[in-house]
Amino acid sequence: MHRVTVATPACPPSWALLQRRLIAAMDAAAPAFVRRYTRADGTLVWRDSWPGMDGSDDGYESFGNFPLFYALGGSDEVHRLARVEWEAVTRQFTAYGQVYREFDAYYDWMHHGESYIYTYFYGLADPRVAVDRERALRFAAMYIGEDPEADNWDPVHRRLRSPITGSRGPRFVNSAEDWVTHRPVLDAYPPPFEDIPGAPGPLCQWTDDAVFAEVLSRLNERMMRADVPLNLAATSLVTHAFCLTGDERYRGWVLDYTQAWWDRARANGGVMPDNIGPNGVIGETMNGKWWGGYYGWRWPHGMNTILEPCVIAAANCLLLTGDARWLDLPREQLDLLCAQGERRDGALWVPHRHGDAGWYDYRRLNGRFHLHLWYLSQREDDWERLVGLGARDGWDTVAPGRDKGDQAHAEPWVRYLEGALPGYPEAVLQTGWNEMQRRLARMAADDGDPTEWDVHHWQDINPVQTEALVQLTLGGPQIIYHGGLLHVRLRYFDPAADRPGLPPDVAALVESVTASGVNVRLVNLDPLAPRAVVLQAGAFGEHRFDCVAADGGPSEPVADRWLAVDLGPGAATRLTLGMTRYAHAPSYGRPGMRR
């Protein structure tokens, strides 16, 4: 392994002090959060029963970023608690009836995606844990046709057999009980179909029993036997298995299933259809309509749940092959929507839904889809697509708080990479600190009755947040929350402790990324002791360091996925790293591991 030695001490910059202070504070806050809301066995202090098919995702989401935080440099205790809580939530929601064989019995892949990023982060935390590997392969088997009890995959038509799948297999008929917790929420959404008696729109009263009966009948008749684009999020589950094993059958399934959807879009005039029937026919259960599927172009969210899984699957295919051609899948959908758009006050508004009368629901296009596309491709035309959305007002503001996916600050991060927002590192770290304190204050004042709490209660209070650390230290965007994997330029390992993440007292800041390299600053905040850190090229070692130059000095060849850096007491450096992207098959293997 090539080694860079840095001995010259320097005064630590403010971003480095803030970064390490935030990590230390979250190390303390996470155990306090767990103590406050869980029993001695780790289960949530909550109700004795919970109906319907919903909820386990919210239990997992309450602690799901713990293993990612550990992999970034959080404490061993946070890692331990991450494992305790996954086991506890699994037991608790098995007792409720949502989980079976340690996997959600039946649900859609927006919610599966929210749940199982938790297990993907285990690969980053420690791929040597045997039970994690066993579960990952068992879960993947449920989707690639290797588990007869979970017969989700149709190999003849290259489709998943329902939009609601899981460890009990495809669910073709929903009961009223399945939807009992969702009905009040769905009152705020449009009707899923345009021919529901008593529900002409714009909203649909699911809490009206007569209306709900009509909705449920049509859901079962039209939606439940169709594959949907949302199921492309399952490619992350199977890519995760590949990164643990290198087994070609996992890679083959991801590529084949993604290609099947791409073929359908091209057969549909370029537009991704949102329903594929039992015989592989577009619109087969929808009277020939390519719209109207579950989490499709019309209901409930429209465009977002078409584009998100397209980006997730394309990114997974790129990771598995190194072939950037796969990014044409989301690029074609984005271009098609933008061609339907119109300019309003300099910003591009595009249709977010499609119904019997055509495209409608024009709104500003969220830039995160183009942002991920540009980050993955590093192509100039994808950058032009991003800035071509226009009206970048707000991109220079680091807004307070965080959203559910902890991905609220992607746009100002891009401005920082442009060189237009040099104060972003300090600002986003301060925002993270303030949000952590706000959540801890809410926890301290939380004296309500747990049996009355909403199922989202704990995830709204979880004080751990990772967006700033992912952006600043790894040089990439936060994951796509509904099932994406981590696509970044760098990872770090602590060789002294034999674990992932930044070593104690070490701070990192990625200042720029290009198609062929990355610039990163490293700081040792300990004025008395040296620190060693190993850098990895990519979250899965998929990239290769070609060369390194320290502090403007001569470039030295590396030709490896790892690079060792020795930082003397109080030392700091700026590394210019030449990089070939997607030079290796992705793997969770750590320095010194074969895989």
Which whole number is the average pLDDT over 147-153? 98
- Name the DSSP class of 452: G
Mean pLDDT value across residues 494-517: 98
Mean pLDDT of 515-529: 98
- What are 60's two structure tokens? 């997992």
pLDDT, tens digit, for every residue of 377-415?
999 999 999 999 987 778 999 999 999 999 999 999 999
pLDDT (0 to 100) of residue 224: 98
In whole angstroms, give the CA distance from residue 527 to residue 505: 10
pLDDT band at 592 (very low <50, low <70, confident <90, very high): confident
pLDDT at 477: 98
* Long-range residue pairs from 501-504, CB within 8 A, at least 24 positions apart, any chain: 501/70, 501/71, 501/72, 501/73, 501/74, 502/23, 502/72, 502/73, 502/473, 502/533, 503/73, 503/531, 503/532, 503/533, 504/531
Residue 557 is predicted with a pLDDT of 98
Name the pTM for this structure.
Answer: 0.98
Task: Record the tokens describing residue 369, joined without a space.
Answer: 């889809």
**Cα separation of 481 and 117, whole Å?**
8
Angle at which helix 14-37 crosses helix 76-96, to 10 degrees, equals 40
Q: How far apart, in Å, are the Cα atoms of 37 and each of 15, 33, 42? A: 32, 6, 9
CA 235 to chain centre: 12
Longest dimension (CA), the chain: 75
pLDDT tens-digit profile of 330-385? 999 999 999 999 999 889 999 999 999 999 999 999 899 999 999 999 999 999 99
Whole-number Cα distances in Å, 405 to 62, 64, 479: 12, 11, 8
The structure tokens listed for 403 are: 């959203």
Please indicate whether residue 151 or residue 594 has the higher confidence score (pLDDT): 151
User: Nearest to residue 195, comparing CAs of 289, 110, 274, 304?
Assistant: 289
Number of alpha carbons in the 13 Å side-chain half-sphere of residue 443: 22
222-260 confidence digits (pLDDT tens): 999 999 999 999 999 999 999 999 999 999 999 999 999
Q: Is the pLDDT of residue 595 over 80?
A: no
Contacts with 244 (C-beta within 8 Å, 6 or more apart), sequence order: 123, 127, 133, 136, 137, 588, 595
The mean of the pLDDT values for the chain is 97
**Which pLDDT does position 390 carry in this prediction?**
86
**Alpha helices, H only, 126-247:** 130-144, 183-186, 209-218, 234-245
Give me the mean pLDDT over the 482-503 stretch. Answer: 98
- Which tokens belong to 112? 């599966």
Has residue 450 got a pLDDT over 80? Answer: yes
Mean pLDDT, range 62-78, rounded to an integer: 98
> How do strand 3-6 and strand 562-567 relate by DSSP bridges?
parallel
Mean predicted confidence (pLDDT) in 474-495: 98
Q: What is the model's pLDDT at position 386?
A: 96
To the nearest 5 percent, what fractions of the chain are helix, strand and coil? 40, 15, 45
Q: Is the pLDDT of residue 594 over 80?
A: no
Mean pLDDT of 491-498: 97
- Partnered with residue 510 across adjacent β-strands are 520
Residue 538: which residues within 8 A CB-CB, separation 6 or more? 488, 489, 490, 491, 561, 581, 586
Question: Helix (H, G, I), strand (E, B), or coil: what is residue 594?
Answer: coil
pLDDT at 593 over 70: no
> In this predicted structure, what is the pLDDT of residue 233?
98
pLDDT at 392: 77
> Which range among 115-129, 560-574, 579-593 shows the weakest confidence by mean pLDDT?
579-593
Contact status, residue 215 vs residue 196, Cβ threshold 8 Å: yes
pLDDT digits (tens, 9 = 90+) for 283-292: 999 999 999 9
Beta-bridged to residue 564, according to DSSP, are 3, 534
Direct distance between the N- and C-terminal alpha carbons of the chain, in angstroms, rounded to an integer: 17
97-111 tens-digit pLDDT: 999 999 999 999 999
**C-alpha 404, offset from chain centre:** 11
